[in-house]
Amino acid sequence: MRDKIRNARRLVVKVGSALVTNNGAGLDKAAMGDWARQIAALRATGKQVVLVSSGAIAAGMQRLGWQKRPHEMHKLQAAAAVGQMGLVEAYEDAFSRHNLHTAQILLTHDDLADRKRYLNARSTLTTLLELGVVPIINENDTIVTDEIKFGDNDTLGALVANLIEADALVILTDQQGLYTADPRCDPTATLVSEGRAEDRSYEAMAGGAGTGISRGGMITKIRAAQRAARSGAHTCIASGNEADALIRLTQAEPLGTLLYATSSPLQARKQWLADHLQLAGDLILDEGAIAALRSGRSLLPVGVVEVGGEFERGAAVACRSATGDEVARGLINYSSSECRRIARKSSTEIEKLLGYIDEPELVHRDNMVLR
């Protein structure tokens, strides 16, 4: 089972507030430097890693000399703004020692709920990964309000795993993994080694946050594993204090708790596409394009003869034959007006016609299901 983590090519690593700030005592730069070293080692073996790091509010509180986490939203937001500076500065310094560039990405729930912004966030993140950069993500605490915030970074980590179709989500925390009960309250609790992410019985074992600094606790980690599994990502919950935890996990060592997904990322995605799409438009294809799709290729603009409906980038569209039969459906990379301008044209002309190019395909095969 642990091969699942060894074989993961793209990983999201989440580190929680308690770890990053040494239980609120200020940024633990030694620990941050150690994760950076391990992530650099992973990169050197060809793995792509996105880091989701908490700690802005805790670091800001420390910089401002506050002992207790305030309740007022504006104070929390102010602390996050102060602390995020220190957080990314420390990571930049740590990764630069391994000749790695970092990029700060602050996300809100809105960014991932809106299809267009979701796709844009996805292409930026995958571009950064291809450039060898380590993206460092946190919630945009400074601008979110109560109703729209993720609230804990476990959920954010899972959403990022869904967003970039990661193979694994590694949640580093201050416990060895999931125990049969909160080990702070029940000393007889034992570590769960592995199980199906979808197994609902784990929810009953998990309690709330361990410290005043953290938000989520174990329950948000279990729900994050369920959510990550929906896009086929396996989740590992392990201790960030364990020496070389990241390296050892990717060598298939049975550290912490593995909550594995039961379908592959592509199967999961295609299932979602098949079940959940509300079609926003139609593309009429020529015979050549229909044959290309049926042999498993992406749809290029050259094979589209007509565009029906009004839609935005990221919308779901049906690909049809001239007689109206649905051949496939998928998520489109250009809006309807852009599609009309590039239909029947070669992909090499997209940039000239639109003034920019997002992708050479209209619908990528990974975002398409045949009917």
Ligand X SMILES: Nc1ncnc2c1ncn2[C@@H]1O[C@H](COP(=O)(O)OP(=O)(O)O)[C@@H](O)[C@H]1O
Ligand Y SMILES: N[C@@H](CCC(=O)OP(=O)(O)O)C(=O)O
**Interaction between residue 138 and ligand Y (CB under 6 A):** yes
What does the per-residue mask of binding to ligand Y show for 147-166, with x meaning CB under 6 A?
A: -----xxx------------
Quote the least distance from Cβ 121 to ligand X, whole Å.
Answer: 23
Residue among 215, 234, 320, 329 that touches ligand Y (CB under 6 A): 215
The answer to whether the annotation marks 110 as part of a ligand binding site is: no
Quote the least distance from Cβ 172 to ligand Y, whole Å.
Answer: 10
14 or 230: CB nearest ligand X: 14
Among 33-41, 118-126, 138-146, 239-247, the segment contacting ligand Y (CB under 6 A): 138-146
Residue among 42, 169, 218, 292 that touches ligand X (CB under 6 A): 218
Quote the least distance from Cβ 37 to ligand Y, whole Å.
Answer: 22
The answer to whether the annotation marks 141 as part of a ligand binding site is: yes
Phi, psi torsion values for 255, nearest 5 degrees: -85, 150
**Interaction between residue 357 and ligand X (CB under 6 A):** no
* CA–CA dist 210, 240 (Å, integer): 15
What does the per-residue mask of binding to ligand Y show for 37-66, with x meaning CB under 6 A?
A: -----------------xxxxx--------
The answer to whether the annotation marks 3 as part of a ligand binding site is: no
The answer to whether the annotation marks 153 as part of a ligand binding site is: yes
Size of the site for ligand Y (CB under 6 A): 18
Scanning residues 147 to 176, which ones bind ligand X (CB under 6 A)?
173-175
Say which entry of ligand Y, ligand X, none residue 57 contacts (CB below 5 to 8 A, set by partner kind): ligand Y
Scanning residues 190 to 209, which ones bind ligand X (CB under 6 A)?
205-207, 209
Say which entry of ligand Y, ligand X, none residue 139 contacts (CB below 5 to 8 A, set by partner kind): ligand Y
Scanning residues 216 to 245, which ones bind ligand Y (CB under 6 A)?
216
Scanning residues 46 to 105, which ones bind ligand X (CB under 6 A)?
54
Say which entry of ligand Y, ligand X, none residue 173 contacts (CB below 5 to 8 A, set by partner kind): ligand X
Closest CA to 236 of 180, 167, 303: 167
94 or 363: CB nearest ligand Y: 94
**Interaction between residue 126 and ligand X (CB under 6 A):** no
Query: Cβ(121)–Cβ(107) under 8 Å?
Result: yes
CB-based burial label for 360 (10 Å; 0-12, 13-18, 19+): middle
| Ramachandran bin of 5, using left for φ above 0, alpha for ψ from -120 to 50, beta for the remaining angles | alpha
Residue, CB closest to ligand X: 16
183 or 330: CB nearest ligand Y: 183
CB-based burial label for 164 (10 Å; 0-12, 13-18, 19+): buried
Query: Cβ(339)–Cβ(362) under 8 Å?
Result: yes
* CA–CA dist 313, 364 (Å, integer): 13
Say which entry of ligand X, ligand Y, none residue 138 contacts (CB below 5 to 8 A, set by partner kind): ligand Y
Say which entry of ligand X, ligand Y, none residue 141 contacts (CB below 5 to 8 A, set by partner kind): ligand Y
Question: What residues make contact with ligand X under the rule CB under 6 A?
Answer: 16-19, 54, 173-175, 178-179, 181-184, 205-207, 209-211, 214, 216-218
Annotated binding-site residues for ATP read 14, 173-174
Question: What residues make contact with ligand Y under the rule CB under 6 A?
Answer: 16-17, 54-58, 80, 138-139, 141, 152-154, 209, 214-216
Annotated binding-site residues read 14, 54, 141, 153, 173-174
